[in-house]
A = this chain, B = another copy of it.
Amino acid sequence: MAHSSRRLSLCTVMQSIVHDGPISRARIARETGLSKQTVGEIVSGLEIGGWVREKGRTRGHVGRTATTYETVGTAAGVVVVDLGGTKLRAAVADLAGNILDDVVEPTDPAGGAAVARQTARLCRVATERNAIGWDRIKLAIVGVAGVPDASTGAVRLSPNIRGLDRINLRSSLEDALGVDVYVENDVNLAIIGEQWIGSGAGEKDLVFIAVGTGIGAGIMIGGTLVRGAAQSAGELGYLPVGADPFEAESLRTGALERVVGTIGIIRRYRDRTGEEADVPAIFDAATRGNLAASAVVDETASHLACAITAVCATVNPAKVILGGSIGSRPDLARRIRTILPQCAPIPVEVETSLLGSYAALAGGAAVGFEKIHAMLFSDGHPGALVSLPRQDANRFRLTGQ
């Protein structure tokens, strides 16, 4: 409780350098409202601590030139993991909010403890690939399909990775890595990533709908994630849309998921044509003008439009971002945009994910950035926080998906 004012000033100054750096001490003072010598003291403290360094000097204006300061990105970092059913991806994010090169491997099909070991190893590999030593890594953020249980550390309802609900993923990673580990739902990280540097940049009310094998959503309201009383917010597969919600199968699989999930799409195509085809093939056929495939895709778009209508009637986001193997197809989004005004009275933008399969990784970096700054500078003091710097998503679009 005592003397928390310095912490607050420290955060204010750090925020200024992270966002507007390289920046001079005089400008920090003007922009934060702190006095010149308070800023001077704090900056020299940060410099001694190794968090910031001199970058250069200002030029070309009246008056004395000023030394400018920037954050030392490599001073600390977090390791970010996207643990998917087929791919395991890890990257390092530094103190300045940069996401460094990522490494990918196929996920170990053995599941459970084997995947935990693989994850820990790949975290080390990711740091070795970049100029940030393991001793500088302060924590790890892991995105995973399923519902992480905060008390047990297990991951419930994780369909794509076997045995993840039987081990304590968090504590086994913490033991292997020696740093705090935060396990979060991958769709929740995806919406955070999209809001930071993706399709939802700048918006505060967003929904990210991942359509793939199943269907799930990450919901952000007023800039904060909606988790729900039982961590079940965004389980859109259970929306009473598509199939009859009172059938036993709907109660188990989910009325919407039955019709727009991978299995549902394949079944509907088979029902129409008698032929067996996988989802990409059906979508490609629809694009080529195949009538049956086109009807199946339109049906899917129509159900998704109803789902979006339901979500908008409830939380009224400014934008809905579509992702996942099925959801990120631009042709599907186009069809949904056509159908939506016929059933949704409240207007909403519908876009495909800009970050693609990197959305969760970016979101993890965002969460890690906020946690590491809170840890190092604000120390949990309310009102003192370093917010995310502007970045661009180019690095992701250049790398292969």
Contact = CB atoms under 8 A, between A and B. Distances in A.
A351 B12 CA distance: 46
Copies of the polypeptide in the assembly? 2
Interface stretch (A218-226, A326-334, A360-368): A218-226
B310 A240 contact: yes
Nearest to A303: B240
Interface stretch (A125-133, A181-189, A243-251): A243-251
A344 B238 contact: yes
A38 B242 CA distance: 63
Interface in A296-329: 306, 309-318
B246 A342 contact: yes
A239 interface: yes
Interface string A109-120: 000000000000
Contacts of A383: 381-384
Interface residues of A, number: 62
Contacts of A344: 238
Given A254-B345, A342-B246, A228 B317 contact: yes
Identify the interface centre among A32, A235, A315: most chain B CB within 10 Å of its CB: A315
A343 interface: yes
Task: Determine the main DSSP class of A at the interface with B.
Answer: loop
Contacts of A254: 345
A72 interface: no
A345 B229 contact: no
A37 interface: no
A219 B314 contact: yes
A227 to B, nearest CB: 8
A231 to B, nearest CB: 8
Contacts of A246: 342-343
A260 to B, nearest CB: 14
Identify the interface centre among A3, A217, A226: most chain B CB within 10 Å of its CB: A226
Contacts of A237: 313
Identify the interface centre among A222, A228, A255, A381: most chain B CB within 10 Å of its CB: A228
B205 A228 contact: yes
A233 interface: yes
A241 interface: yes
Interface in A4-48: 4-5, 8, 12, 32-34
A309 B382 contact: no
A234 interface: yes
A346 interface: yes
B205 A239 contact: no
Interface string A251-271: 110110000000000000000
Interface of A: 1-5, 8, 12, 32-34, 203-205, 217, 219, 221-222, 224, 226-241, 245-246, 250-252, 254-255, 306, 309-318, 342-347, 381-384
9 contacts: A4-B8, A203-B229, A222-B226, A228-B317, A229-B317, A238-B313, A246-B343, A255-B343, A310-B314
Lowest 9 CB-CB distances: which A-B pairs, in order? A228-B316, A382-B383, A229-B318, A383-B383, A245-B343, A238-B313, A233-B316, A232-B316, A240-B306
